[in-house]
């Protein structure tokens, strides 16, 4: 059972909802065209971000930017509840002076840093306060009025301000299961090179069908999907750094330019040129 959660592209610049699930494994690896705040209210979930696994518990917040490939697993199959916010970072220009410094401060927690986990754990008092903020935002969005949306945007800014000083915690990090983790590390190191499942299976000295089955058994996702989304994420980073669309295509390992344009737009919702114009500096 799954209610309310949306994977992949988000059509709204801001959404907030509480969802309930008993799914053992969520759909395949995905990334969003928005930033995400995942707030686990109850249950125990294993959260996969790139080639790392995090054992979550009630009160954990996961902060994800729009270039992080992720998914979750519910090993117990028991009910778990979570609030999820998706937001377009460009919304933050509508508050304060709209300067880059303010936006950078509010989004600093979403940046990938090797020495900091993407998880924040909230103790009881903070848990209740942050949960109330999520609920207020959800109600404001359900109102459907312009005033409701303005309130929801304000609640988002307040939430980000409240989270900014909270220390990241180090929840139990479980390295990706040996085999799938090694495959992910290999793919990461060879993203710009042509991909062949036959060559990959030879590298790991296993039958390609066995490789795919084992990877899926350990992660709940597929090799092809993971590789595709990693390449798109690399292309996004290149475009944000001012590289040309052609260079982004080549650096990310897309051998065919037309296929790159098609895949990028399908998963990001914008063409590479549109993405660079909107989010680049």
pLDDT digits 0-9 by tens, 204-241: 999 999 999 999 988 888 999 999 999 999 999 999 89
Q: Which 8-state DSSP code applies to residue 26?
A: P
What does the pLDDT read at residue 103? 73
Task: Calculate the average pLDDT of the chain.
Answer: 86
| Tokens 């009910």 found at | 79
Per residue in 15-62, pLDDT (tens digit) is 999 999 887 656 689 888 899 999 999 998 999 998 888 899 999 999
Q: What mean pLDDT do residues 252-259 have?
A: 94
Q: Does residue 1 register a pLDDT over 50? A: no
- Decide: helix, strand or coil at residue 225: helix
Domain 177-279 in CATH 2.40.160.40: no
What does the pLDDT read at residue 125? 86
CB neighbourhood size of 214 (10 A): 18
What does the pLDDT read at residue 176? 54
- Helix locations, the chain, DSSP H: 100-107, 124-143, 146-163, 178-189, 197-203, 208-219, 223-240, 245-251, 257-268, 272-279
Q: Which one is predicted more confidently, 173 or 161?
A: 161
- For the domain made up of 2-173, give the CATH fold: Jelly Rolls (2.60.120)
- Do 246 and 10 contact (CB within 8 A), yes or no? no
> For the chain, which residues make up each domain, given as ranges?
2-173, 177-279
Predicted model pTM: 0.84
Q: Give the integer Cα–Cα distance in Å for 250 and 235.
A: 9
Task: Choose among 13, 14, 64, 66: nearest CA to 268.
Answer: 66
């Amino acid at each position: 059972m799954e209610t309310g959660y949306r994977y992949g592209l988000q059509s709204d610049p801001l959404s907030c909802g509480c969802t309930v699930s008993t799914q053992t494994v969520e759909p395949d690896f995905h990334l969003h065209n928005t930033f995400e705040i995942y707030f686990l209210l109850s249950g125990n979930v294993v959260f996969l971000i790139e080639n790392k696994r995090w054992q979550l518990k009630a009160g954990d917040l996961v902060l994800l930017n729009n270039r992080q490939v992720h998914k979750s697993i519910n090993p117990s199959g028991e009910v778990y509840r979570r609030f999820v916010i998706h937001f377009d970072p460009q919304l933050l220009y509508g508050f304060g002076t709209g300067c880059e410094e303010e936006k950078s401060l509010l989004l600093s927690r979403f940046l990938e840093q090797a020495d900091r986990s993407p998880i924040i754990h909230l103790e009881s008092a903070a848990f209740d306060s942050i949960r109330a903020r999520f609920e207020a935002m959800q109600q404001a969005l359900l109102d459907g009025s312009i005033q409701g949306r303005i309130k929801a945007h304000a609640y988002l800014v307040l939430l980000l301000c409240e989270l900014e000083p909270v220390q990241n915690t180090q929840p139990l990090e479980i390295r990706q299961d040996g085999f799938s983790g090694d495959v992910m590390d290999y793919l990461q190191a060879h993203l710009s090179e042509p991909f062949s499942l036959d060559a990959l299976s030879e590298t790991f000295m296993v039958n390609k069908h066995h490789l795919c089955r084992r990877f899926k058994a350990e992660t709940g996702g597929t090799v092809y999907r993971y590789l595709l989304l990693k390449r798109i994420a690399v292309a996004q980073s290149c475009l944000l750094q001012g590289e040309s669309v052609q260079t982004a295509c080549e650096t990310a390992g897309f051998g065919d330019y037309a296929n790159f344009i098609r895949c990028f737009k399908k998963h990001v919702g914008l063409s590479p040129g549109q993405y660079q114009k909107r989010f680049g500096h």
